[in-house]
Structure 1
């Protein structure tokens, strides 16, 4: 079971009434402007802002931090929030391999957006053919489908900490997540596996000899690389600007890469040799 850090200011922090105008403005503003408005509102005596009214691309954790720094108040995140670590990297970066090692080491739950989509495709559902076309062409599947599958999987395993592999892959995914999941899930960090394209291509060609996947071929791989650079890297940059990215060099051997991965997440997850597996170390600000 994962536990997030308690909200600054301790339990029982009050929540004030935010005027409708504040909520409307927050929904229309970007990250920088949203932060500025949150700090301005929280500096006004007697005014608090609901976390649900934060800017669309502003994570819950950052909203709490901004309001805490400025002396404002924010509602405590309920214990029922799903705890999520996004795992991003190009095709062949080793996301599945590293997630499997993290599951063994920390007892986390691995959800691969790609695997969920492939299972849905194979199930013969109405979305199956559409998913097949998107995957074959190296395009990103509509967020409504991906998010529906992810949410169903998370709701079926309540109380766990999830490694969400291969999502969000574009800005539409980010906005969809913030719109549909911000009140039921908390993003703890983004693990980014940084691997040169040449190494990714080599791995994909080797994997394609045995995987049987329709997208494990050179033509599809190059389409996926193009999509990754154009659509996913801006997402990584967005989360990096929020201080949420843990960047790991991923061009080495599996165990070498995992040593970097483990070191990057250890401060957040805690050492499984010292704590219960999968339990987040609770921290309080001094």
Structure 2
């Protein structure tokens, strides 16, 4: 299962941008898992950890890593079974560098790029305040949002630097509308996929996985046979 991380502060527009990616015909092989949505389902269904999750969210805190991993894997497994897609856009994860490193050690997942949405604290506060007028979340009151923003800058921003140093970070401003943000992001995603193909055609055999990633990210169905792969390599064909 191939994973692409999506990160940003509360109200930065992660959900809207993830939804926009999912409706883009160029990325029809992508499915979406929001760790926040997965946890809210557990609360609404009155699961065994529901009270703990609800209180933790109200306090603006994070669940223990073992709990997050359990529900994250549960969410991924459910989406893969429902959609048959194996390229997953993870919304709101990882929150800390140790989480990123531990998740990347799991053999069942191939972690690729991370998307970061830059948004000012003032804009995040404005959006979360407006969100309360349309629907209520346990973690959307002002005091909790301020605590979540503080945690974001203290713990999640270093995650961006972790991916940036590895040249795996795609970052754009999300101060504008969702469409304006996606207009910045879409070509960067496209270039990233094309770049991986270009690197492969330069001759390094180790980038075969990246070729499969690009196809999975767009179509999710193309798996070249060894014969097809040889023809593509010889011809330098575009996929």
Please list, as runs of the form range in 1=range in 2, the aligned pairs for 1:192-231 lying within 5 A after superposition. 192-231=116-155
Q: Note if 1:150 corresponds to 2:72.
A: yes
Residue in 1 that maps onto 2:38 = 116
Distance 1:227 1:101 in 2: 26
1:278 offset after TM fit, Å?
Answer: 2.4
Tell me how far apart the structure 2 counterparts of residues 241 and 171 of structure 1 sit (CA, whole Å).
Answer: 13
1:103 alignment partner, one of 10, 18, 22: 22
Query: In the TM superposition, what whole-angstrom CA distance separates every residue of 1:177-205 from its partner, at most 9, and x where no partner exists?
Result: 134x2x11111200000111111110000
CA RMSD of aligned residues (A): 2.4
Cα deviation, residue 269, structure 1: 4.6
Separation in 2 of the partners of 1:277 and 1:139? 33
Q: Which residue of 1 aligns with 2:204?
A: none
| Alignment length (residue pairs) | 198
Higher helix share: 2
Structure 1, unaligned stretches of length 5 or more?
A: 1-81
Matched residue, 1:170: 96
The question of 1:260 aligning with 2:179 is answered no
1:127 partnered with 2:53: no
- Summarize deviations over 1:234-285 as a string: whole Å, max 9, x none: 1111111111100111101121111011112112456xxxx8982379998x
Q: TM-score, normalised by structure 2?
A: 0.76
Work out the CA distance in 2 between the residues paired with 1:277 and 1:192: 18
Q: Distance in 2 between matches of 1:234 and 1:256?
A: 26
TM-score (norm 1): 0.64
Tell me how far apart the structure 1 counterparts of residues 158 and 38 of structure 2 sit (CA, whole Å).
Answer: 24
Q: Which has the larger radius of gyration?
A: 1
